[in-house]
């Protein structure tokens, strides 16, 4: 393993690949990602969850594929997720909260944010998941072995995920079990893969490149809801 921060290591093979969008934050940080514990209030999270529960206007999330051209399609063997549009009121609250934290985010990654995508509100119900992927690249395989990454979304430099429901063994209206955010090639000092258990109101921001390849593990019970956005930078 190769150490990339005080508490996190990455798989050695990544350092040997020619990754076009390679970027790692300051190696003297404790972690190579930023967690903001109270990005949104508990009340705001519950209200968003309630609105989504009532709203049946959603679509199935798509995945980017590489054929002759880069395109998108629904493939529930790779990703099973519902996508909603965020209510205007809460979209405004989200944007205002992001602006409050933007200077801290930019300082952490030493990159000014120039443009952000629309916010995706994602719902994972029981048995929903999203298999291993990189937010800015497609994974290239040869004889079933990963041999590299092809950049398909160069405008994605940072990924942000705001959780509005929490991981909790005692599943309730605003919680779930399973559904951890797993970083496939990041490890702790005990050689355990880094897993993030959601907490309502918490946001995690990480680089979108292949070093931060990740997946959403299958939800076992409850509803996992998150607000996801990608950000371009200088």
Band of pLDDT at residue 70, cut at 50, 70 and 90: very low
- Dist CA 94 CA 118 (whole Å): 11
Average per-residue pLDDT in the chain? 92
Asked if residues 61 and 79 have their Cβ atoms less than 8 Å apart, the reply is: yes
- pLDDT higher than threshold 90 for residue 55: no
Beta bridge partners of 224: 124
Q: 175-178 and 219-222: which strand pairing?
A: antiparallel
- pLDDT higher than threshold 50 for residue 67: no
C-alpha distances out from residue 92 to 102, 112, 119, Å: 15, 21, 11
pLDDT, tens digit, for every residue of 181-223?
A: 999 999 999 999 999 999 999 999 999 999 999 999 999 999 9
In the chain, what are the domains?
2-55+80-233 (2.60.120.620)
Pull the structure tokens for residue 47: 């209200």
Range of lowest pLDDT (51-55, 86-90, 157-161, 180-184)? 51-55
Q: Is the Cα dihedral 102, 108, 109, 112 positive or negative?
A: positive
Pull the structure tokens for residue 68: 């002759």
- Dist CA 31 CA 193 (whole Å): 13
Asked if residues 21 and 211 have their Cβ atoms less than 8 Å apart, the reply is: no
Residues ≥6 apart with Cβ < 8 Å to 69: none
pLDDT of residue 39: 98
Residues ≥6 apart with Cβ < 8 Å to 72: 62, 63, 64, 65
pLDDT of residue 136: 97
Pull the structure tokens for residue 165: 């429901």
Q: 158-163 and 203-207: which strand pairing?
A: antiparallel
pLDDT of residue 69: 42
Full-model pTM: 0.92
């Amino acid at each position: 393993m190769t150490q990339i921060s005080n508490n996190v290591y990455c798989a050695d093979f990544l350092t040997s690949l020619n990754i076009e969008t390679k970027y790692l934050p300051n190696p003297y940080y404790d972690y190579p990602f930023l967690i903001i514990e109270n990005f949104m209030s508990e009340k705001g999270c519950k209200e968003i969850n309630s609105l989504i529960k009532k709203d049946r206007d959603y679509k199935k999330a798509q995945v980017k594929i590489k054929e002759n051209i880069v395109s998108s399609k629904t493939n529930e063997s790779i990703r099973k997720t519902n996508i909603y549009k965020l209510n205007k009121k809460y979209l405004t609250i989200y944007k205002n909260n992001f602006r409050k934290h933007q200077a801290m985010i930019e300082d952490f990654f030493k990159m000014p944010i120039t443009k952000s995508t629309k916010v995706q509100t994602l719902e994972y119900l029981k048995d929903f998941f999203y298999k291993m992927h990189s937010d800015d690249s497609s994974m290239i395989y040869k004889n079933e072995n990963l041999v590299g990454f092809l950049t398909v979304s160069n405008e994605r430099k940072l990924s942000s995920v705001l959780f509005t429901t929490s991981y909790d063994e005692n599943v309730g209206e605003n919680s779930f079990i399973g559904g951890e955010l797993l970083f496939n090639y990041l490890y702790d000092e005990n050689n355990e893969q880094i897993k993030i258990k959601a907490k309502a109101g918490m946001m995690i921001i990480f680089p979108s490149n292949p070093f931060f390849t990740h997946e959403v593990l299958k939800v076992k019970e409850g509803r996992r809801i998150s607000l996801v956005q990608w950000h371009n930078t200088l």
